A and B are shown apart, each in its own frame.
Chain A
Amino acid sequence: MTTIDAPDMHSGHPPADTRSKKERLFWKNRGHSEHFRSHEEEFDACKFGMWLFLTTEVLLFAGIFCAYAVFRTMYPEAWAAGSHYLNWKIGALNTVVLLISSFTAAMAVRCAQLDQQRWLKLNLIITLVCAALFVFIKLKFEYLPKLSEGKAPGTFFSYPFAHDPHEPLWWGVYYIGTGIHALHVLIGAGLLGWVLYRAWRYKAYGPTEYTMVENSALYWHLVDLVWIFLFPLLYLVH
């Protein structure tokens, strides 16, 4: 039987959502995408996708570690001299900062799972402060003093007191390794800042909706993971 409102009913468009953005983004009101059977399945797919992405990140850094290994074997004197230019105390301090932030990121996931909104925000804030601290220490005590002395990569090298002719190569590996890592710190901080904003404004994350918290934290842990290897290779091994 045809009725006058039939076209609207069967046009395939859902009824207009009249709820405010705050209501729609509240974690209890979140559904799942239509092409997933359940929120559970969507979560697993998202997380698996994140892990696939993380493998490409690992392979990106693998290129740098490869360059490190090859050039280190070819020019061990340059690498020994280069490692002596770095202050291990600053590297160790940054390691501690990143480890603590990794812990608070893991705690943020737990707080979202348990609907502890205040602790979720607090953990995210601590993580962000650690991220800012890391970048500040890197710039203030490492990059800027070294660049002002002329310890720059490749053709930009102008430090007069080099011990080995291959030191520009060492600085190339140093800056590209720590630079891409620092870029990842900034991106990870951006992701976690986005999570913090949505948690603060919309209470967007809770026991049934924490995919974004989990994946941002995974990204942050990868940043930590890379630094765990960069720190001894650059600062400690001589």
Chain B
Amino acid sequence: MSDTQHQAEAPAFNPMDPHGTNYADDHHGHVIVGWKTQLTILVILLILTALTVNVAQAEAIIMAELNIVIPHWVNIIGAMLIATVKATLVCMFFMQLKYDKPLNSIVFGFCLFCVFLFLFFATLDLTHRDTIRPERAQYLIAGGTGVGLDQTIQDNTLSAGIGPRPSINNQAITEFRFEQALTNKYHGDAEAMWTYYYSHQDHPHRHEKDTENYFHALGFDHHEEPSSEELSRPKHGTTPGLFDDRAPSHDTHHAADDDHAADDHPDDHEAGPAADTNAETEDHTAGDDS
């Protein structure tokens, strides 16, 4: 670090003042870190921030486009490695541990070691916390629940397990809130509820609680599953020209099945292909009617 400066060095030993008690010229040897150094560190930190964001984005794109499932630990380890590099830079240069007395670094390092101990022992048995290995079973004795550990705990209030306990009608709070909102806020109108939900998402996906598939019926899935030469998917809504790519000539491979329906409804291009595809037919019709 060429642009760091050292303040004046301490004077030579003074026999009249061996402990430097009266030495008034303070702050000898303190380093003044140069602004170029700090600015470089800032730029590196910003680049690393962009990098960690792009790594997460790149993984999401790879998973979506190429159908490659990247294990979770890649994501976590990558992000944590970049974060550790960033934290080290902040500690060394912004917090000046690089130029400081080593005692401060030792204290901080010991603290980080303690953090490691916390994390290590807290997560040590996570993968088999609820299981009893057969070779260890004979050493286990009944605990405070009053029942053997190899028996199912009958009374849930005695369970030491962490997690949502059965509350109202044995529901988790998330289930309860769902039904509460449906009853109280939307007065049982599931369509209104799902319309609200899907219209407030940037890129809506079908919600697993949407058992009636309002996602389809309300026409929110046309971004997700576009039609192609091989597979026609119904589209919904009143957008002009939305059905232009579904002209009968494109459905020639369905001609044998569709002839009858197409003749009956020459203006309705969807009737033919929709009739032989799948359950989407009903949703599609419902969407048109609404």
Question: Which A residues lie at the B interface, using CB under 8 A?
Answer: 32, 37-40, 43-44, 47-48, 51-52, 54-55, 58-59, 62-63, 65-66, 69-70, 73-74, 76, 88, 92, 95-96, 99-100, 102-103, 105-107, 110, 113-114, 150, 155, 157-168, 207-208, 217-218, 221-222, 224-225, 228-229, 231-233, 236-238
Contact = CB atoms under 8 A, between A and B. Distances in A.
B271 interface: no
B115 A62 contact: yes
Given A224-B94, A225-B91, A95 B49 contact: yes
B7 A225 contact: no
A97 B75 CA distance: 24
B172 A40 contact: no
6 contacts: A69-B123, A92-B49, A161-B197, A207-B7, A238-B72, A238-B75
A50 to B, nearest CB: 9
B26 A38 contact: yes
Interface residues of B, number: 78
B27 A62 contact: no
Interface stretch (B32-40, B141-149, B219-227): B32-40
Given A51-B107, A58-B111, A161 B207 contact: yes
Given A43-B27, A51-B107, A106-B33, A162 B177 contact: yes
A70 B123 contact: yes
Contacts of A207: 7, 27
A235 to B, nearest CB: 8
B35 A107 contact: yes
Contacts of A74: 126, 129, 162-163
A231 B87 CA distance: 12
Which DSSP category, helix, strand, loop or mixed, fits chain A's interface?
A: helix
A164 B115 contact: no
B42 A40 contact: no
A68 B189 CA distance: 37
Contacts of A157: 173-174, 177
B173 A237 contact: no
B278 interface: no
A63 to B, nearest CB: 8
Given A48-B103, A58-B111, A58-B112, A236 B95 contact: no
A166 B163 contact: yes
Contacts of B255: none
B118 A66 contact: yes
Interface stretch (B76-84, B228-236, B244-252, B281-289): B76-84
Nearest to A161: B197
Nearest to A214: B96
B30 A113 contact: yes
A6 to B, nearest CB: 26
B32 A110 contact: yes
B208 interface: yes
Contacts of A233: 79
Contact of A236 (B21, B56, B91, B180): B56
Nearest to B100: A47
A64 to B, nearest CB: 11
B40 to A, nearest CB: 10
A229 B52 CA distance: 11
Interface string B116-129: 00110011001101
A37 B119 contact: no
A165 B164 contact: yes
Interface in B62-103: 72, 75-76, 79-80, 82-83, 86-87, 90-91, 93-96, 100-101, 103
Contacts of B100: 47
Nearest to B55: A236
B53 A236 contact: yes
A141 B232 CA distance: 40
